[in-house]
């Protein structure tokens, strides 16, 4: 039945393309999922797993129609992969892990992939510096965002005891999110940073006396044993990911706009820059400064606000007024959130 559905999907895709119609029908797909969930409820089936199954089936059919390529900060088992799967599972995408955030940018800029998924902000540790810096010069747009609730575990090779851990590896943000655990439970161990939590787990599996801070998915993928779970300082730990590309994701929900600007060194410059938003009651959801590269003690500001900076008149007017007050303004894109927030188990 699955094979038959794929063949029908292929033919339907070819027909729509020949008539220059959009292949994807997101409204119809949501109706299919909703009908399936009602049936699952009647039969006493797990609704969350049923939803995952239906969306994966939709993705298989979409992949047969036209393959979408998506890159994420790897290796496999990273939280970035979780975000990529959440955003593009039902698109039938081909997923490509990349060794660094800059590699994700390069792959998307060169056209080797359609979208790149990168972490941009954590609810505990704030902005991801590498992503924010790369956004200043990239030609890519922010096409959507994904949020993933983070649950961090201490993972080691099977047989290693907690008291025998000599070194802990992880991404700097994950290490910072587990300060209390490291200071009180593993206060004398060496700390080493890695490019991602998944890379840390993969590396720890090859080292004697090593443990890594990462996800349950990474532990399962690389054959690790979980020595402790939920070790982050705060349980309400969420990471936000940007989806980078050149084409807006129309199925995304809500509207938000991200911009970058640089100010003159004059009193009240930031106040004046933000005044157009306050005057129109546009809510700012994030403001963060980053050092301007190559210019000591000069800064650029990253701002997110609610509203569509490409389609809403009030937002467009605020941006036009802002242009007159800043030295540099870059509109990264107007976008929405893909799916609902999911939680690592």
Q: Which domains does the chain have, with CATH numbers?
A: 1-65 (1.20.59), 153-228 (3.40.190.10), 253-337 (3.30.70.260)
Tell whether the model's pLDDT for residue 115 goes beyond 60. yes
Tell whether the model's pLDDT for residue 230 goes beyond 90. yes
Instruction: Dump pLDDT digits (tens) for 144-154.
Output: 999 999 899 99
Tell whether the model's pLDDT for residue 133 goes beyond 50. yes
Q: Which residue has the higher pLDDT, 122 or 9?
A: 122
Contact 190, 172 (CB under 8 A): no
Contact 284, 274 (CB under 8 A): yes
Phi, psi of 265 (to 5 degrees): -85, 75
Q: Which of 329, 203, 319 has its CA nearest to residue 263?
A: 329
Tell whether the model's pLDDT for residue 264 goes beyond 80. yes
pTM over 0.85: no
Give the sheet arrangement for strand 190-193, strand by strand.
190-193, 167-170, 210-214, 153-156, 225-228
Contact 262, 254 (CB under 8 A): no
Please state, in angstroms and rounded to a whole number, the distance separating the CA atoms of residues 310 and 329: 14
Q: How many CA atoms lie within 13 A of 88 on its CB side?
A: 28
Tell whether the model's pLDDT for residue 37 goes beyond 50. yes
The structure tokens listed for 308 are 């569509």
Residue 266 has a CB neighbour count (10 Å cut-off) of 8
Helix pair angle (313-323, 269-279), 10° resolution: 160
Query: Which residue has tokens 């979409």?
Result: 62
The structure tokens listed for 150 are 């983070």
Contact 151, 230 (CB under 8 A): yes
Residue 279 per-residue DSSP state: H
Instruction: Dump pLDDT digits (tens) for 68-103.
Output: 899 999 899 999 999 999 999 878 788 999 999 999
Write out the catalytic residue numbers: 239, 241
- 3-7, 13-17, 212-216: which is most confident: 212-216
Residue 63 confidence (pLDDT)? 67
């Amino acid at each position: 039945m699955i094979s038959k559905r794929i063949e029908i999907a292929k033919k339907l895709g070819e027909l729509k393309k020949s008539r220059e119609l959009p292949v994807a029908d997101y409204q119809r797909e949501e109706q299919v999922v909703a009908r399936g969930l009602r049936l699952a409820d009647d039969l006493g089936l797990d609704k969350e797993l049923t939803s995952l199954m239906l969306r994966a089936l939709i993705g298989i059919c979409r992949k047969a129609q036209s393959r979408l390529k998506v890159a994420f900060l790897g290796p496999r088992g990273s939280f970035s992969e979780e975000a990529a799967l959440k955003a593009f599972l039902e698109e039938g995408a081909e997923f490509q892990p990349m060794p660094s955030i800059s590699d994700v940018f390069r792959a998307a800029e060169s056209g080797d992939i359609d979208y790149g998924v990168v972490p941009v902000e954590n609810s505990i540790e704030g902005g991801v510096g590498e992503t924010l810096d790369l956004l200043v010069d990239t030609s890519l747009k922010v096409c959507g965002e994904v949020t993933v609730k983070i649950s961090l575990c201490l993972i080691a090779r099977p047989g290693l005891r907690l008291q025998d851990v000599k070194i802990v590896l992880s991404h700097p943000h994950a290490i910072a999110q587990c300060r209390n655990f490291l200071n009180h439970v593993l206060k004398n161990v060496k700390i080493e940073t890695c490019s991602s939590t998944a890379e840390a787990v993969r590396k720890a599996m090859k080292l004697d006396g090593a443990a890594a801070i990462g996800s349950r998915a990474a532990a399962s993928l690389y054959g690790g044993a979980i020595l402790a779970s939920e070790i982050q300082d705060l349980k309400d730990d969420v990471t936000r990911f940007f989806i980078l590309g050149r084409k807006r994701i129309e199925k995304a929900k809500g509207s938000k706009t991200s911009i970058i600007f640089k100010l003159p060194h004059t009193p009240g410059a930031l106040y004046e820059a933000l005044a157009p938003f306050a005057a129109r009651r546009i809510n700012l959801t994030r403001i963060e400064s980053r050092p301007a590269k190559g210019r000591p003690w000069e800064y650029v500001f990253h701002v997110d606000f609610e509203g569509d900076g490409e389609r809403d008149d009030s937002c467009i007017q605020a941006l036009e007024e802002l242009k007159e007050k800043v030295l540099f303004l870059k509109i990264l894109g107007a976008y929405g959130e893909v799916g609902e927030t999911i939680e690592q188990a």
